Amino acid sequence: MAHSETERAIEGFRELIAAAPPASVVFFGGAGVSTESGIPDFRSPDGLYVQKYPYPAETMISRSFFDEHPSEFFDFYCNRMVFTDAEPNQAHRKLAELECEGTIRAVITQNIDGLHQAAGSKAVRELHGSVLRNYCMNCGMSYSADEVLTLHALDDDGIPRCPACAGIVKPDVVLYEEPLDERVLRASIEAIAQAGMLVVAGTSLAVYPAAGLIDYFRGSHLVIINRSPTPRDRQADLCIAANVGDVFDF
């Protein structure tokens, strides 16, 4: 029974998408959008936080940890958060297609892997930054993710250092204790406030700022796609307990 219930919900979702006016749909995605590309959710118990590290993931990717323990930070970061071989999955591809057709107004993501852009999406708001952008904290020189991994491997302490000036190369990723980029946040709020349909997918909606952002939605259809229940399910017009990629497989 639960199975056919999910199938009916997916059918309902596709009908809503088909009937959506131009540029009326905003997609808000969390870690669950990338897990099908082989990128684990570091917050989940079976995710990339393993016993090897003596601190919780949230501690290891905080700004104070970065400042005080850069060697351990980059060990965790380079091994558990940067996946340069990952490729877009069905959800990324379909969202890019829907943007090209004019249905999708914006994709707002909590992920830092750049896979929406790799699939062809243009209007992407990266709330937590991107592993693909990295800057020397001293001279500002920019480096790719591959270069950061190489510099990490070359350094005795595993700290990627700028070949030009030996400054530390910091990923353009929003660490815990750091504020979100004001412009990205404003653009995200604006997109959500103007959306007729908001699709929230692959996030438990328990983590800041996801829960707060959806309060700006004033449209008619809130859709939540997540394998487990979220605190906002009661607000949603449609809840789909399925993998994000399966829902976008049409």
- Footprint of Zn ion (CB under 5 A): 136, 138-139, 141, 162, 164-165, 167
Least distance to Zn ion, CB of residue 159, Å: 13
Query: Does the annotation flag 78 for ligand binding?
Result: no
59 vs 138, beta carbon nearer Zn ion: 138
Residue 136 is assigned to a ligand binding site: yes
Comparing CB distances to Zn ion, the nearer of 116 and 170 is 170
What is the spatial distance between Cα 50 and Cα 52, in angstroms, rounded to a whole number? 5
Decide: residue 35, CB within 10 A, 0-12 exposed, 13-18 middle, 19+ buried: buried
The DSSP letter of residue 141 is -
Contact status, residue 73 vs residue 79, Cβ threshold 8 Å: no
Least Å from the CB of residue 137 to Zn ion: 8
Secondary structure E strands in the chain: 25-29, 104-109, 124-126, 129-136, 142-143, 169-173, 197-201, 221-225, 238-240
Coil/strand/helix, residue 247: helix
Does the annotation place 165 within a ligand binding site?
A: yes
Looking at beta carbons only, is 50 or 164 nearer to Zn ion? 164
Can 116 be counted among the known catalytic residues? Answer: no
We find the least distance from the C-beta atom of residue 172 to Zn ion, in angstroms, to be 15
Q: Which of 3, 69, 116, 128 is catalytic?
A: 128
Residue 134 CB, nearest approach to Zn ion (Å): 11
DSSP state of 168: B
Residue 100 is assigned to a ligand binding site: no
Kindly list the catalytic residues: 128
Q: Give the residue ranges of the annotated binding site.
A: 136, 139, 162, 165
- Please enumerate, by residue number, every residue annotated as part of a binding site for Zn(2+): 136, 139, 162, 165
